[in-house]
Amino acid sequence: MTDTNIVTPAEQRVATAAPTKVTRAYAAQAPDARLAPFQIERRALRPRDVQLEILYCGVCHSDIHMARNEWGQTIYPVVPGHEIVGRVTAVGDDVTKFRSGDLVGVGCMVDSCRECVNCRKGLEQYCLVGMVLTYSARDRISGDITYGGYSKQIVVDEDFVLRVSDKLPLAQVAPLLCAGITTYSPLRHWNVGKGHKLGVIGLGGLGHMALKLGASFGAEVTMLSTSPEKEADARRLGANKFALTRDQAQLKELAGYFDFIIDTVSAKHDYNMYLGLLATDGVMMCVGAPPTPAEVAVFTLITGRRSLAGSGIGGIPETQEMLDYCAEHGISSDIELIDIAYINEAYERMLKSDVHYRFVIDMASLS
Ligand code: NAP
Ligand code: ZN
Ligand code: ZN
């Protein structure tokens, strides 16, 4: 590391314990730009800040949506990455939960109002004022752009830092910080488990975690995929059944079959086709976030009192619970470890569903 000390006017507005750090990163400068090396400044430590050296960062499909401004909210330059695992290198004077050397994680958010009814319940992701995303958002104090995990280090308030066990390989733990919690949270909310039939749509980053977690909670899990070559892996990951969703005959056999379906699809697709696979009172939990709105035929819901629901990541307490659960049960992500210079190719492969089942960046490759 050859970090230089630079203090920006924005940093001077807050009480600082140390100068800011110039940090190597990868950023997109515009929706149609490839990600490329870029230097950012991390803020000087505030009293309750934790600074960590990033060891690994998972590559979520949300990183692609955001880098390309597909959700219309991106602030450029954007440094994506919200599946961060690292080691604490410094802490502010008032930090009580962490110390240098601890293994920690940071997920999709780095702050929230802390006072609204949802924040008080530990549902910071549904903060009524608005959570602060790990990247492409504005810091609540300085107004600076937040930059994510495709970088060497990050500074985060201790309340948004998670404790990571050393029981599991760290690179495989990184995807739990988004893909893990985003599937754990709805499965827990709807108490999916023994005696339930669960369908998982899309065998990518979120889908493979939904499969592992659903099986671990005791549900019978069926993988609903567009990729026939993923069947063997789906079964290895815990699927009891596998159905090709492009084959109408296979879908017909599953009509009215599932108590729950978790939809992790990143692109435009037909929700009605999958809603028809729900049993009476079945729930389809949408976590995949295609940029375009979808049409839903309400009669599919009415005829079986079916529910179409959504779920966003998970709060800080539940994220810690999920990390602890995964450490205890030996659950982590199946990954392809990449150098950061491969990131643009990784995006192209994810867009073709060629992901097995999460790309994780080895941050040692960022020099
Ligand atoms: P991913 O790794 O790229 O996996 C998506 C999978 O969906 C693909 O591998 C493919 O699986 C399937 N798929 C792709 N296009 C499809 C289509 N047109 N029709 C049917 N299936 C299709 O993506 P991810 O990282 O898991 O993220 C998935 C989505 O969740 C993204 O939209 C992301 O932004 C969103 N997300 C939401 C939250 C939240 O809080 N709700 C959090 C994180 C991510 P098969 O090959 O098996 O068909
Ligand atoms: Zn994500
Ligand atoms: Zn709040």
Per-residue confidence band for 11, with pLDDT thresholds at 50, 70 and 90: very low
Measured in angstroms, how far is the CA atom of residue 78 from the centroid of ligand 1? 21
Task: Give the list of residues 6+ apart from residue 15 with CB closer than 8 angstroms, or none.
Answer: 46, 47
Q: Are 250 and 274 in contact (CB under 8 A)?
A: no
Q: Is the CB of 182 under 6 A from ligand 1?
A: yes
Residue 316 zone, left/alpha/beta (φ > 0; ψ -120 to 50; rest): alpha
179-189 and 316-329 helices cross at what angle (nearest 10)? 100
Ligand nearest to the CA of 312: 1
**Domains along the chain with CATH numbers:** 3-178+333-365 (3.90.180.10), 179-310 (3.40.50.720)
Pick the ligand that lies closest to the CA of residue 231: 1
Predicted TM-score (pTM) of this structure: 0.95
For residue 94, the CA-to-ligand 2 centroid distance in Å is: 30
What is the tens place of the pLDDT at every residue in 22-50? 999 999 999 999 999 999 999 999 999 99
Percentage helix, strand, coil for the chain under 3-state DSSP, each rounded to 5: 30, 25, 45
Which residue among 265, 271, 319 is best mutated to probe the pocket of ligand 1, counting the most ligand atoms within 8 A of its Cβ? 265
Residue 108: which of 273, 289, 309, 346 has the closest Cα?
Answer: 289
Mutate to test the pocket of ligand 1, among 64, 131, 206, 270 (most ligand atoms within 8 A of CB): 206
Among protein residues, the one whose CA lies closest to atom 36 of ligand 1: 288
Read off the pLDDT of residues 40-94 as tens digits, 9 standing for 90 and up. Answer: 999 999 999 999 999 999 999 999 999 999 999 999 999 999 999 999 999 999 9
Summarised one tens digit per residue, pLDDT across range 294-349 is 999 999 999 999 999 999 999 999 999 999 999 999 999 999 999 999 999 999 99
- Ligand 1 pocket, residue 210 CB under 6 Å: no
Of all residues in the chain, the percent with pLDDT exceeding 70 is 95
**Ligand 1 atom at shortest distance from the alpha carbon of 207:** 26
